[in-house]
């Protein structure tokens, strides 16, 4: 499959949301919306209200990453707001994962699951076949600009192996430090969807159109090197 790019909206210029979304609508594959509650991670970022507000102008799926202690509290409001994917952390749902997965689907959304760097794929082995997307954190969650955790390359490769051996349909996504310094290794390990933030996209140029073109050039140069 062709590589997918999922810009992290918490890294965009929030003073120019509409303008930047109109640019990304024609280029990105989905939008990554980080929702933090100040408990599961210390920061507080975007919200269901933000999803509802931008739903009026977005043309591609919104991928909502729930860095929250109680993801069940967010499912219905995010679905009503226009979420395409709802992606809780495995660390927060394993006491009731099947109920949460069923609830996300019942609300008309695709199901993702996110794994912290120290959480093995075996943690989700009993429901891995039910998810549409697996997001492997390559940095500890909650803060932008952290260094890449190289140990995640083997986890990505394991997700790819399991997918191929069992015919699973999930997208393999990576969140954290996806940029010209990591694109090649991530792609070779099996990454299919790249969440691009400050280092991978938004800091490449003040003009987001130029920044996007630079990101694609960087990616192609890296993976074809």
Task: Please give the annotated binding residues for a divalent metal cation, written as ranges.
Answer: 32, 34, 65, 175
Task: Please give the annotated binding residues, written as ranges.
Answer: 32, 34, 65, 142-145, 175-177, 197-199
| CATH 3.20.20.70 correct for 4-223 | yes
pLDDT tens digit sequence for 191-214: 999 999 999 999 999 999 999 999
Count of residues for the chain? Answer: 225
> Where does the pLDDT of residue 55 fall: very low under 50, low under 70, confident under 90, or very high at 90 and above?
very high
- Determine the average pLDDT of the residues in 37-50: 81
pLDDT tens digit sequence for 95-146: 999 999 999 999 999 999 999 999 999 999 999 999 999 999 999 886 666 7
pTM over 0.85: yes
Minimal CA–CA distance to 9: which of 54, 41, 59? 54
Q: What is the pLDDT of residue 143?
A: 64
Tell me the pLDDT of the chain averaged across its residues. Answer: 95
Q: Is the pLDDT of residue 189 over 90?
A: yes
- Number of Cβ atoms within 10 Å of the Cβ of 132: 19
Q: What is the pLDDT of residue 28?
A: 98
- Determine the average pLDDT of the residues in 145-158: 92
Catalytic residue among 37, 63, 132, 175: 175
Catalytic residue among 34, 37, 63, 132: 34
Compute the distance between CA of residue 190 and CA of residue 18 in angstroms, rounded to an integer: 33
pLDDT tens digit sequence for 61-70: 999 999 999 9
Q: Is the pLDDT of residue 221 over 70?
A: yes
Q: Could you confirm whether 34 is annotated as catalytic? A: yes
Domain spans, the chain = 4-223
Q: Could you confirm whether 13 is annotated as catalytic? A: no
Minimal CA–CA distance to 68: which of 33, 37, 101, 111? 37
Contacts 24+ apart (CB under 8 A), 188-192: 188/223, 189/153, 189/154, 189/156, 189/157, 189/160, 190/156, 190/157, 190/159, 190/160, 190/163, 191/3, 191/156, 192/1, 192/3, 192/4
> Where does the pLDDT of residue 1 fall: very low under 50, low under 70, confident under 90, or very high at 90 and above?
confident
């Amino acid at each position: 499959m062709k590589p997918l790019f999922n810009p992290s909206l918490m890294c965009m210029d929030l003073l120019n949301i509409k303008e930047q979304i109109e640019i990304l609508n024609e280029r990105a594959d989905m939008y990554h919306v980080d929702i933090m509650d100040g408990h599961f991670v210390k920061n507080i970022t975007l919200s269901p209200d933000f999803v509802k507000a931008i739903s009026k102008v977005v043309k591609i799926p919104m991928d909502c990453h729930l860095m929250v202690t109680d993801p069940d509290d967010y499912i219905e409001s995010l679905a009503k707001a226009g979420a395409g994917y709802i992606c809780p952390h495995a660390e927060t749902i394993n006491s009731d994962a099947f109920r949460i997965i069923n609830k996300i689907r019942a609300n008309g959304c695709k199901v993702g699951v996110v794994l912290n760097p120290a959480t093995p794929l075996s943690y989700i082995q009993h429901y891995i076949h039910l998810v549409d997307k697996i997001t492997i954190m390559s940095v500890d969650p909650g803060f932008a600009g952290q260094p890449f955790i190289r140990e995640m390359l083997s986890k990505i490769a394991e997700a790819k192996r399991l997918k191929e051996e069992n015919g699973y349909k999930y997208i393999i996504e990576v969140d954290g430090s996806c940029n010209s310094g990591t694109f090649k290794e991530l792609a070779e390990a099996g990454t299919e969807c790249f969440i691009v933030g400050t280092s991978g996209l938004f800091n490449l140029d003040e003009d987001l159109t130029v920044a996007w073109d630079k990101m694609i050039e960087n990616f192609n140069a890296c993976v074809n090197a």
